[in-house]
A and B are shown apart, each in its own frame.
Chain A
Amino acid sequence: MTDTDCDAVVVGTGPAGATCAEVLTAAGWSVIMLEKGRNHLLSLDAPFNPLGHVSNDELKLVFRHFLGPDPWLEPRTFRSSEDDGDRIYTGDVNNLPSTVGGGGMHADGKVPRFREIDFRLASELGPVDGADVVDWPLDYDELEPYYAEAERVVGVAGDAAVNPYAAWRSGPYPMPPGPDMFCAVLTSEAATRLGYHPYRAPTAVNSVEYDGRPACNNCGFCGYFGCPIDAKGDPVAPLRHALRTGRCEIRPESYVTEVLLDETGRRARGVRYVGVDGTVHELSARHVILGAGAFETPRLLLRSEIGNSDVVGRFLMYHFQTFALGVFPFRLHAHRGRSVTHLMDDPIIPDADAQAAARGAGLPWMRGGIVEHGGASHPITEAIHLPPGEDHTRLMMASPMRDRMAAFTMQGEDLPQATNRIDLDPSVTDAWGLPAGRVTYRPHRHELVCAQHWAPRLETVMKEAGARHTFWATSPPLPEQEARRRAANPSPMSRHVMGTARMGDDPRTSVCDRWQRLHDVENVLVADSSVFPTSAGYGPTLTIVALAIRAARALADLEPLRSQRPTGS
């Protein structure tokens, strides 16, 4: 053990890597975390206070790539199929922050659990033509205690009693919910009147002081922004816990270019990385943990030529986003509060209408996703979508597209398809000279049918809530909107990226085993959403954290966590 630089090197400091670092350092391991991006989150010297770099600044955070990646330095490319040629777009493709804290920095912290059925779609619902629907190699009951631990570590505010569709829980949320946004109260009350089941969203934002961090003060710069007051359950908590052990070191601006193997080719001996000044370093470790996210992790695996080469990068999934928007005759001030305060699961549990729509389209079943009740928030984003001239000024003052708008976002389940993938672009490179990651992605008919079924129903809820005008859209656009798809940025807006190093028990059809370790290089563990075999219709973060706790504890030979299902649940 003394002949390596550390017990584990962790690539990426987002929720996946941060969680592993906390678990492993608590178990006595030494950990070095390599982060490609800069550190704007917390001082790396005790007591690891916030740096104070993030702020209520729309220009810096939304338009000037402050949390990275800068699409000029790190371009990604997109095509919808091989018929498009090498690419149809170069730039921002599903970019998540590239910075200490990773995707947790910009998320608005909605952290629902998956449900029991989400781990067993093949067994419970069966196959779908053109997709590769599989069961997960673990089930909800096994993951439940890790979900509970994840909620405790991250700090989640919620109300266990309010969602009738929720999976069973071994205990309550660590904090009560924060205040409800005015617009979400209107839309959730309307949804209830129409027979849906909205509930107060479990949110990784402090509603009371928690773990030494203050309660949220509702500033509203939540989704797409880092928290200026340390109240968001971004990975600051696990990173700080890891640093406090004295066994964790974070090295920002350190870009891992390759996982290095020993002479057997079956074990990793460490990683090679490049500093911002171009200097190349090698780091040796007993274990390599990849938490670079489901876009960058397969890119690193492909560069390193490890992992099942028939599967790495394939089965790329997002959430198929359906937006139903309502313009109200009065102001909703959705720029105050936590961006989204209510969810509803109804499209995930198909009713008779949804089942009939699926059958009518030749599908055996269909599942949508959570519907987020939120609104539009900040004015530069509003302004650039309006036409220049007097219409601009009048519309900005009346604000139908921001201050009077409520928004539903359905995060629809995206079925896994082998042809949807991330690979290495043949000619576009990043600022380090490495091939850009390239997406090839086209939604399955399941997603399109589901969006078209639910969009008008969500519009009806908006009208019931009092909206004067309603409309809907999807990302990616529906095929009949081909002209729009060719315009501007045709890649899906979703930042929920999953599936590109899927886990399973069969080494021929998966990349990682049930403990998230590569089948072919046993001391490399994939900690992020790359391992998801299916996408479910829920935000991925809490499941990433729960899986990472489970995988890291197993790696350190700690006892599995167990929980008790309450009787009657």
Chain B
Amino acid sequence: MAIWLTEHEHAVVAAAADRVIPPVGGHPGGGALGVADFIDSLLGAFVFDPPRIWAGGPFSGRAGGTASFDEFLPLNSLEELAWRTRIEGSKGMVERERNGAVIGWQQQYRNGIAALGRDFCDISGREQDARLNGDPAFKNLLYTHACEGAYGAPEYGGNREMRGWGAIQYQGDVQPRGYTDREVEGRE
């Protein structure tokens, strides 16, 4: 289901996600949680209209109410400028380089994935870690996005079947049900 990443790049991101958020002790890990889908949705956010930046509201439907998270909210022209610059980079456009040139996430991923090697999915975990550690800036970007994808709302493409929340005993969004007073005050 690649949106912006190639199938190969998607596979590399999924493998790398399993190194920064490994499946351990019942936690599915970043790969199975769909971190690669999440990152692909972010890099390809402007393939969609409205772009997949801000999920809708007020409710997801998981705790009652009408589901609306998957109806993404439109950006205004300045917000689009900011998010396109972040994702696509400034590409020499004057309006995107007000305070300097920006290398976008798309380019950072394309370069960072290429540097991990064509054989990244086939090597040992230890070797994968060594290659990730060779580019700390890219590893940090990937890790931040992996955390967002593993534990953000599933409408953004990750946290598949809410297993990211399940693994850490977190309920996620709870409106409009909320919590009872007893659930707030009590030990359980």
Chain A residues near B (Cβ < 8 Å) = 38, 50, 52-60, 63-66, 70, 72-73, 75, 90, 178-182, 185, 216-221, 228-229, 253, 276-277, 330-331, 333, 335-337, 379-380, 383-384, 388-390, 392-394, 396-397, 399, 403, 428-429, 431, 433
Contacts and interface: CB of A to CB of B under 8 A. Distances in A.
Chain B interface extent, by class: 35 or more
Interface stretch (B107-115, B116-124, B149-157): B149-157
B35 to A, nearest CB: 12
B106 interface: no
A388 B175 CA distance: 31
Contact of A179 (B79, B152, B176, B185): B185
A185 B68 CA distance: 35
A216 B164 CA distance: 27
Given A60-B54, A66-B54, A217-B178, A390 B151 contact: no
Nearest to A330: B187
Given A336-B179, A393-B25, A403 B170 contact: yes
A136 to B, nearest CB: 37
B89 interface: no
Contacts of B79: 38, 70, 73
Contacts of A277: 77
B59 interface: yes
Nearest to A398: B168
B147 A383 contact: yes
Contact of A38 (B27, B76, B172, B186): B76
Given A57-B57, A60-B54, A388-B146, 15 more contacts: A38-B76, A66-B54, A73-B78, A178-B181, A180-B185, A218-B184, A219-B175, A228-B175, A331-B169, A379-B168, A380-B152, A388-B139, A390-B24, A397-B168, A428-B99
A53 B58 contact: yes
15 contacts: A53-B73, A56-B172, A59-B148, A73-B78, A178-B181, A180-B185, A217-B176, A218-B183, A379-B164, A388-B21, A388-B143, A389-B19, A392-B20, A397-B167, A397-B169
Nearest to A181: B184
A54 B58 contact: yes
Contacts of B92: none
B126 to A, nearest CB: 12
Contacts of A217: 175-179
Closest 5 pairs (CB-CB, A-B): A217-B178, A55-B57, A56-B173, A383-B147, A388-B20
A17 to B, nearest CB: 21
A72 B86 contact: yes
A318 B126 CA distance: 47
Given A64-B53, A383-B147, A182 B187 contact: yes
A537 to B, nearest CB: 27
Contacts of B25: 393-394, 397
A335 B170 contact: yes
B4 to A, nearest CB: 18
Given A228-B57, A380-B147, A70 B24 contact: no
B82 A429 contact: no
Nearest to B98: A429
A341 B54 CA distance: 30
Contacts of B78: 70, 73, 276, 431
A72 B185 contact: no
B11 interface: no
Nearest to A379: B151
B139 to A, nearest CB: 7
A56 B22 CA distance: 27
Interface of B: 19-27, 29, 53-60, 68-69, 73, 76-79, 81-82, 85-86, 98-99, 129, 139, 143-144, 146-148, 150-153, 156, 164-165, 167-181, 183-187
Contacts of A336: 179, 183-184
A380 B27 contact: no
A90 B185 contact: no
A490 B29 CA distance: 33
Contact of A229 (B55, B58, B185): B58
Given A181-B185, A383-B151, A396-B167, A72 B85 contact: yes
Given A57-B173, A336-B179, A393-B29, A52 B187 contact: no
B26 to A, nearest CB: 7
Contacts of B175: 55-56, 217, 219, 221, 228-229
A178 B76 CA distance: 38
Nearest to B65: A228
Given A217-B177, A383-B150, A393-B25, A431 B98 contact: yes
A379 B22 contact: no
B174 A220 contact: yes
Contacts of A64: 53-54
Given A393-B22, A397-B167, A53 B183 contact: no
B56 A55 contact: yes
B56 A393 contact: no
B172 A182 contact: no
B76 A253 contact: yes
A431 B81 contact: yes
A56 B65 CA distance: 13
Among B77, B150, B184, the most chain A Cβ lie within 10 Å of the Cβ of: B184
A279 to B, nearest CB: 12
B184 to A, nearest CB: 4
A54 B69 CA distance: 10
B23 A380 contact: no
Nearest to A56: B173
Nearest to B38: A59
B57 A52 contact: yes
Nearest to B168: A396
A72 B57 contact: no
B67 to A, nearest CB: 11
Nearest to A252: B76
A384 B144 contact: yes
A558 to B, nearest CB: 37
Nearest to A66: B54
A55 B69 contact: yes
A431 B98 CA distance: 7
Contacts of A220: 174, 179
B96 to A, nearest CB: 9
Contacts of A384: 143-144, 147
Contact of A219 (B148, B165, B179): B179
Nearest to B29: A393
A219 B174 contact: yes
Contacts of B169: 331, 397, 399, 403
B104 to A, nearest CB: 12
Contact of B184 (A63, A179, A379, A389): A179
Nearest to B86: A72
A336 to B, nearest CB: 4
B138 to A, nearest CB: 12
Contacts of B152: 57-59, 380
